[in-house]
Amino acid sequence: MEIIQYREEHNIFRHSLRKFLEKEVIPHVDEWEEAGIVPRSAWKKMGEHGFLCMDVPEEYGGAGADFLFSVIVNEEMTRTNHSGLAAGLHSDVVVPYITTFGSEEQKRRYLPGCVSGDIITAIAMTEPNTGSDLAAIKTSAVEEGGHIIINGQKTFISNGINCDLLVLAARDPKVENPYNAIDLYLVEAVTPGFEKGRLIKKVGWHSQDTAELYFTDCRVPRSSRLGEKGTGFMKLMEKLQQERLVCAIAAVAAGERMLDITIKYCKERSAFGRPLTKFQHVQFEIVEMATEVKLGRTFLDKLIVDHMEGKNIVVDVSMAKYWTTDMACRVADRCVQLHGGYGYCEEYPIARAWRDVRVMRIFAGTNEIMKNIAARFMGL
């Protein structure tokens, strides 16, 4: 019996999305990888076809769909073998902050555009000297009358160039306790004092517009704050469970895809007069990878069900995030090896997959931090 019970509507949705991606996304991936960014028109098409922000309620233009629709989008996007059209980041990481914590005015102002693809979002937490330690951020938010004055710098911000709306983490320098000093603010890209910096060149994720962001006396209305003052850190902690689950979804889907293309290659490629799959070493390599991928899928599917039931699975998700992303990297390396020299050539999809999967062990909290979180909850 399958752990996740997909209904017919889920299967129809997956089929529709896969056809859309085969027509509107996959043929353009190489072009986007070369450009270092995905055109806004691609985001717009995703929105027009109903593939963004699946859980946004109908009164704000969304489908009000369950989380399995988001799972499907994240899996199918991963199988396009590129990262630039980061629908999962937009739909399942950033926009939920607005859906959950936004005021009625904020929801009506922004959510319809997020669903349609007219508004592309990003979340700004990481700073040049602050990675996974969110309590140490330096970007300041000082109250001045009815406004908040923001000063600071963020880096490694995915969707940083394309973004129209930013969920920004900043701190009140007057509050000593770092956990009470942090708040989240909605900052529009057109706000004076908000400047998008350079497009960061990376080892992988070439089509993902990762950027530095600068704030110099950036003035936003007090009403741009998400929720009550001093609650930003707790909001981040609450939403990181889903963010890390989304990472695990992508990691397992990547592992499955890399294994599929490698099995196909090994069946078609011959050495010493027989297919590679007829060599015992290759068979053992494939079986071992398949076992790890299946273990990851089983663990992941159980967590998806628990998450949908509203359970607190912070520890398990932290374990899953580190283990599945480590697993995906192991699979990527072994798949490249089985491809031989061709695995190191750009014309073979495993090369891009190998490059792209490496960063999964770093973002959304490094895997070392994931282990630290689990250890702390285990009382170690």
Pairwise CA distance, residues 107 & 102, whole Å:
6
Q: Which residues contact 83 (CB under 8 A, 6 or more apart)?
A: 204, 205, 207, 208, 356
Largest CA distance in the chain: 79
| Residue owning tokens 């397992």 | 252
Q: What is the DSSP-derived secondary structure letter of residue 93?
A: I
Alpha carbon distance 67, 79 (integer Å): 19
CA distances from 155 to 36, 125, 159, 296, 354 (A): 17, 8, 11, 31, 24
Known catalytic residue: 2? Answer: no
In a 10 Å sphere around its CB, with 0-12 CB exposed, 13-18 middle and 19+ buried, how is residue 290 labelled?
middle
What is the token pair recorded at 95?
């926009």
Pairing of strands 165-171, 211-221: unpaired
Yes or no: say if 178 and 171 are a contact pair by the CB < 8 Å rule. yes
150 with 193: CB under 8 angstroms?
yes
Q: In 3-state terms, what secondary structure has residue 104?
A: helix
Torsion of CA 194, 199, 205, 206, to 10 degrees: 140
- The token duo for 343 is 């695995």
CA triple 125-134-119, angle to 5 deg: 20
DSSP 8-state symbol, 178: H
Asked if 342 and 354 count as a contact pair (C-beta separation under 8 A), the reply is: no
Q: Phi and psi of 129, rounded to 5°?
A: -115, 15
Residue 191, token pair as written in the block? 């706000």
Virtual CA dihedral for 212, 213, 215, 216, nearest 10 degrees?
50
Catalytic residue among 33, 75, 212, 243: 243
Please compute, for residue 135, the number of CA atoms within 13 A of its CA located in the half-sphere on the CB side.
8
Catalytic residues: 243
